[in-house]
Structure 1
Amino acid sequence: MSTTAALRTAPLRARAEIDLAALRANVRALRALAPGAAFMAVVKADGYGHGALPCARAAVTAGATWLGTATPEEALELRAAGLPDDIRIMCWLWTPGGPWREAVRADLDVSVSGAWALEEIIDAARQAGRPARVQLKADTGLGRNGCQPGEDWAELVGAAVRAEAEGALKVTGLWSHFACADEPRHPSIAGQLGLFREMVAYAEGRGLRPEVRHIANSPATLTLPEAHFDLVRPGVAMYGISPNPAIGTPADLGLRPVMRLAASLALVKRVRGGHGVSYGHHYTTPGETTLGLVPLGYADGIPRHASSTGPVLVEGKWRTVAGRIAMDQFVVDLGGDEPPAGAEAVLFGPGDRGEPTAEDWAQAAGTIAYEIVTRIGTRVPRVYLNESGE
């Protein structure tokens, strides 16, 4: 019996169920919105907490031809995992002295935003004895990574053209990233899109012939068909989470959340009124009641900022975190109900069985749903459902 199969039946302190059928369906739904573009499945940060390799395999099954990661280490792990050779893998967060030579040998597409990075990848390509695959990133307004327009872009493009002529590299892509695509009608969207077109035109005018031009993240894939270009890069939407409630719920967008997080109650006990609960006694029971102990805490990624506000489903009823969330556990007030120890407490899931969603926890913690799923730690086993299937 496989580990995953054993986990499905073994009693667990907690479990994060990952529905790969839902992920495959999400990929297909997103691909249908950009039928003329290739699809990059972004699996950085261990697949937004869902597991990079299982999610990558499921996405490829559903038609993804590119995978995207932040760090080169993430990309190299994927390449070593035996995915089909024709699947392209791109990584974009580099620091000086990074594993450039290994990236060249693994046929990764690497992002370059400035002269230092271009120099290091050219040197690595010469050492490896083969050309590097390089994508030039333009800062069109996000103000993070990426090359500034104007003189900086001209110098980077010129150096890349010369290196390509020498056979040291092939510029496979030109790309950028939106700052506010998750805010419908934000004025920066049109500005970034226009500047991206200008920077692409400049590079192509100097002789570069990229395979792909891309700027569309999840919200742009969902709402900005004019931004789809040759490739789209959905991240959080692939996992069934809306980039912003203002755009719509997952159901509105034709998506289904992939992760369901649950735990087994470790203890249920009756207490008197006025009983303090957890550190600091920020919650005291209003009357005689029952308390349930949920064996998850901030060491597992449950946000401490959701103390006294986080929702939990126990025996069909929404409960609320009572008092502070501790490192390994928190308490819910069961209002006199007495479920047995071992009863399931559902923190979040798709929401169609009455359970809270990751968005509900994001609202409770004052953050975004991206963070809620990504921060779930390694002490929580991932249990993969529907691993086989088209």
Structure 2
Amino acid sequence: MSAPTDQRPPMAVLDIDLAAIRHNVALLRERVDRPLIAVVKGDGYGHGIIEVTRAALEAGADGIGVTTIAEARAVRSAGIDAPLVSWLHAPGADFEWALRHDVEVGIGAIEALEDVAALELPARLHLKIDTGLARGGCPPHLWPQLVARAAQLARDGRLRIVGIWSHFACADEPAHPSVRHQLARLHEAADVARAAGLREFALHIANSAATLTAPESWCDAVRPGIALYGLDPMAGDGARFGLRPAMRASARIMLAKDVPAGTGVSYGHTYVTERATRLAVVPVGYADGIPRIASNKAPVMIGGKHYRIAGRVCMDQFVVDVGDDPVQAGDEAVLWGDPAYGEPSAQQWADAAGTIHYEIVSRAGGRFLRRHHDDLRADSDEEEE
């Protein structure tokens, strides 16, 4: 566990269980007989890009996926020399740094292809085809032009095409017809690339949802992301796949006080106490990534018992109505963690906020202290002894 500089109890903590990360990667690694690219974009989905990368590689990941070159730089600067691919690049991206540091680059436009080729450095590229997400990737009508130019540059020895890939739009709905259609388009794009003269590339499209539910989409490699962190991409309980949540968010209650019936709570008085009760103030708010839209809805566990937020989430704090329970300042409030231990889940918070758990975990920050544990539950047991 990384040691905090201040030995006083932190106000709010994101405890990251690296044992859970390793467990999830090993589970997926055993499930899939293909190379596994562990996606650690967005600071490891809020879990810490460097720590998650190391844990994923220890557990058998074959490579690492990030979006920006800045993320790739962070990984390389930490001394990690594993295969690494980066795929989100605005005009003017520092391709030269990426190529000099053995970063494979995702390309979806001929302009970016020319920018890379102009550097005259050894380059390993993954060409992206838009198969139906209508986000990144080369439009189908321009694909023949892109692969023809890539093949010419490859014949001239100026670069290598090591991957052709795409991204599913609806793989979290396994029966959605677009999954089958996008996979077919990817194979068609690969045929066009082969006809242009490209060979020996890896075909990949499977995200976490497809890795868990669509083995026909595994192609030559898979790119799981959210499943590494123990969360079900289909918005269910990850335990059904054997996954373990890696993030536990908690805070120490700042103040507990008794109020009479009819007390309006927080801004706008959207919650009014029905009887004399006790209120507990939790010192995190939307500046720390707690969604304001979860006001009056999101669950919180205090002393092993579940409550709901009372009133609006503020910038720095929110309130919980704990009734007659003897909650005190300094008690721990668990926002989300592992349901196997009775804790609320990130999915429950997502449901309360009308969003997805990806957003809940990746946006958490602000005044939360992030701590990494080699094995969170073992550390917790030791602290209790």
Please tell me the root mean square deviation across aligned C-alpha atoms, in Å: 1.6
- Counterpart secondary structure, 2:9: coil
- The alpha carbon displacement at 1:189 in A equals 0.8
Match of 1:147 among 135, 138, 143: 138
Match of 1:62 among 59, 62, 72: 59
Q: Distance in 2 between matches of 1:77 and 1:204?
A: 35
- The alpha carbon displacement at 1:387 in A equals 6.4
Q: Distance in 2 between matches of 1:26 and 1:219?
A: 14
Inter-CA distance 147–251: structure 2 relative to 1 (3 Å threshold) = same
- The alpha carbon displacement at 1:8 in A equals 10
Match of 1:93 in 2: 88
Map Cα deviations across residues 138-191 of structure 1 (whole Å, 9 max, x no partner): 1111110011224x1110001111111222211111101111111021011111
Match of 1:119 in 2: 114
Identity over the aligned pairs, expressed in percent? 49
- The alpha carbon displacement at 1:72 in A equals 1.1
Structure 1: runs of 5+ lacking an equivalent: none
Does the CA contact (< 8 Å) of 1:239 and 1:258 recur in 2?
A: yes
Match of 1:252 in 2: 240
Point out 4+ residue stretches in structure 1 off by more than 6 angstroms.
Answer: none
- Counterpart secondary structure, 2:140: coil
Structure 2: runs of 5+ lacking an equivalent: 379-385
Does the CA contact (< 8 Å) of 2:302 and 2:331 recur in 1?
A: yes
- The alpha carbon displacement at 1:212 in A equals 1.7
Map Cα deviations across residues 303-358 of structure 1 (whole Å, 9 max, x no partner): 00100101000111111101000001000001022222110000000112221100
User: Which one-letter code corresponds to 2:23 in the other structure?
Assistant: A
- Counterpart secondary structure, 1:11: coil
Q: Paired residues, what number?
A: 377
Q: Distance in 1 between matches of 2:94 and 2:46?
A: 24
Q: Distance in 2 between matches of 1:226 and 1:46?
A: 30
2:122 paired with 1:131: yes
Match of 2:159 in 1: 169
Q: Distance in 2 between matches of 1:97 and 1:271?
A: 58
- The alpha carbon displacement at 1:242 in A equals 0.4
Q: Distance in 2 between matches of 1:374 and 1:234?
A: 16
User: Which one-letter code corresponds to 2:12 in the other structure?
Assistant: A
Does the CA contact (< 8 Å) of 1:276 and 1:283 recur in 2?
A: yes
Match of 1:203 in 2: 193
Q: Distance in 2 between matches of 1:240 and 1:52?
A: 15
User: Which one-letter code corresponds to 1:315 in the other structure?
Assistant: G
Does the CA contact (< 8 Å) of 2:289 and 2:366 recur in 1?
A: no
Q: Distance in 2 between matches of 1:7 and 1:19?
A: 20
- Counterpart secondary structure, 1:95: coil
Match of 2:172 in 1: 182
Match of 2:28 in 1: 30
Match of 1:11 among 9, 12, 21: 9
Q: Distance in 2 between matches of 1:387 and 1:166?
A: 50
- TM normalised by structure 2 equals 0.95
**Residue pairs, 1:342-361, within 5 angstroms:** 342-361=330-349
2:375 paired with 1:384: no
Does the CA contact (< 8 Å) of 1:8 and 1:383 recur in 2?
A: no
Q: Distance in 2 between matches of 1:325 and 1:195?
A: 45
- The alpha carbon displacement at 1:205 in A equals 2.3
Q: Distance in 2 between matches of 1:323 and 1:7?
A: 34
- Counterpart secondary structure, 2:323: coil
Match of 1:310 in 2: 298
Does the CA contact (< 8 Å) of 1:266 and 1:341 recur in 2?
A: yes
Does the CA contact (< 8 Å) of 1:7 and 1:383 recur in 2?
A: no
2:108 paired with 1:110: no
Does the CA contact (< 8 Å) of 2:20 and 2:375 recur in 1?
A: no
